[in-house]
């Protein structure tokens, strides 16, 4: 059996097929998937864009998902250089399958420089070692995980929810979803006790993995707000995904994903979040709108 983390890292880097053109790998792990995971497409697009920029770091990424992708078909990326200024570079990236557009992204890169420092504080939550694993949260549910993807995530990563995750048993109390402010869903994630050396030594690969991870559970906060669980029969899809990168992620330790939702209405829900290193440093900020509709 292959290592899930190594499989994911192998997915992140698209292969150049010509000037500004790339082919994105697809998973080959036997896990059944109905569609391509959005975090995979976003990460591949960002790394394709980065391959056309020299000496500058990715500081923001804005992705619009146009239609779901087919895991059985090749993912093709085209990068369009829009600007190379004194300090900033901008790239547009499109992803297609069989000539149909799946995604469009705008990636911005900045020249390394010193500047003023400020960051929000990490929320005061319990240490990950004191919290239940995702598998332990799911154990009381009668039918267990609702699909192979949940099992895959629990195998690939160590997940510890600081707030109850969106499960049917949690929403047995209708007051659970009512809060004075944003709906919250905060979770610790650790990729591995001993991460691969390349992940710790390659900043671009680490950024790609961070992009991949941020699409995973940010919309859980919307589900908490409306009292819907993972097993409720509804369609959920990411419509867009925006990221601002502040500081390097430390994948040698736990990361806290602080997800919150201010609103859901008319079939869509908005979620935003911050990712923190274990030492409290703010790594990135994410925002995403999701579609929530009937099956």
For the chain, give every domain's residue range.
Answer: 1-113, 127-295
- 1-113 maps to which CATH number? 3.10.129.10
Distance of CA 285 to the CA centre of its chain: 11
| The two structure tokens encoding residue 105 | 């992204």
pLDDT band per the 50, 70, 90 thresholds, residue 204: very high
For the chain, percent of residues with pLDDT exceeding 90: 70
Domains 1-113 and 127-295 share a fold: no
Instruction: List, in order, residues 6 or more apart from 130 with CB less than 8 Å away.
Output: none
Tens digit of each residue's pLDDT (9 = 90 or more) over 82-99? 999 999 999 999 999 999
Identify the DSSP state of 172. G
| The two structure tokens encoding residue 63 | 């992705």
Residue 176, pLDDT score? 52
292 Ramachandran zone, left/alpha/beta (phi>0; psi -120 to 50): beta
Distance CA 295, CA 146 (A): 15
Distance CA 164, CA 96 (A): 37
233 has pLDDT over 60:
no
Q: Which CATH number fits domain 127-295: 3.40.50.2300, 3.90.1150.10, 2.60.40.350, 2.40.160.210?
A: 2.40.160.210
More confident residue, 104 or 142: 104
Identify the DSSP state of 281. -
pLDDT band per the 50, 70, 90 thresholds, residue 136: confident
Distance CA 98, CA 174 (A): 46
Span of 19-28, 151-160, 241-250 with lowest mean pLDDT? 151-160
């Amino acid at each position: 059996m292959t290592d899930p983390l190594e499989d994911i890292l192998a997915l992140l880097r698209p292969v150049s097929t010509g000037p500004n053109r790339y082919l994105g790998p697809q998973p080959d792990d036997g896990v059944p998937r109905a569609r391509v995971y959005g975090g995979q497409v976003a990460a591949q697009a960002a790394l394709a864009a980065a391959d056309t920029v020299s000496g500058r770091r990715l500081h923001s990424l804005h992705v619009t998902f146009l239609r779901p992708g087919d895991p059985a078909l090749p993912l093709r990326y085209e990068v369009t250089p829009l600007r190379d200024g004194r300090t900033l570079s901008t790239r547009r990236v499109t992803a297609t399958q069989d000539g149909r557009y799946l995604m469009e992204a705008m990636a911005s890169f900045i020249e390394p420089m010193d500047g003023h420092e400020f960051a929000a504080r990490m929320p005061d939550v319990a240490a990950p070692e004191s919290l239940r694993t995702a598998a332990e949260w799911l154990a009381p549910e009668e039918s267990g995980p609702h699909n192979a993807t949940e099992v895959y995530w629990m195998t690939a990563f160590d997940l510890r929810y600081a707030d109850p995750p969106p499960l049917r048993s949690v929403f047995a109390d209708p007051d659970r979803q009512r809060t004075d402010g944003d709906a919250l869903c905060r979770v610790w994630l650790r990729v591995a006790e001993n991460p691969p050396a390349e992940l710790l030594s390659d900043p671009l690969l680490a950024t790609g993995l961070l992009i991949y991870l941020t699409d995973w559970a940010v919309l859980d906060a919307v589900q908490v707000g409306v009292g819907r669980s993972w097993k409720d029969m509804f369609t959920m899809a990411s419509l867009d995904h925006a990221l601002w990168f502040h500081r390097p992620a430390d994948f040698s330790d736990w990361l806290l994903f602080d997800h919150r939702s201010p609103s859901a209405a008319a079939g869509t829900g908005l979620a935003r979040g911050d990712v923190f290193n274990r030492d409290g440093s703010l790594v990135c900020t994410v925002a995403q709108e999701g579609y929530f509709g009937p099956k």
